Amino acid sequence: MRTLLILCTMMPFVNSIGRTQSVGVRGVLICNDKPAVDVEVKLYDEDKLTPDELMAVGRTDGRGQFEIKGHADEFTSIEPKLNIYHDCDDGIKVCQLIFEKPIKEKSGERSPSLN
């Protein structure tokens, strides 16, 4: 129990001394052949032992375009992911659907449609 308490106490300090790593994502969101306007996008660093770290928040413009950049301090390589909070083809549901996409190092990757 004592070891667990010490580890939990040290976790914020350990995260703050890692190296700063950055990532950026640019894209266009389309829903039913129309731009997905004012859709929230969030960039996270996915962590295994701690909650995912929010790196940036953005929204699509009138053409469905977005560009989002963020950074995190980690000892190991960051594992960025993009979460898209949308209402595309969700009927009359109150909650938004979440599309989660891991970000790879290469650029120009195309993802399947949201619907």
In terms of residue numbers, what domain contains 34?
19-102
Global pTM? 0.74
pLDDT classification of 111: cutoffs 50, 70, 90: low
Residue 6 lies in a domain: no
96 belongs to a structural domain: yes
| CATH code of the domain in which 28 resides | 2.60.40.3330
Q: Is the pLDDT of residue 3 over 70?
A: no
User: In total, how many domains does the chain have?
Assistant: 1
Q: Would residue 3 count as lying in a domain?
A: no
Question: Does residue 87 fall inside a structural domain?
Answer: yes
Burial (0-12, 13-18, 19+ Cβ within 10 Å), 35: middle
Q: 82 falls in which pLDDT band (50, 70, 90)?
A: very high
Proportion of the chain above pLDDT 70, given as a percent: 74
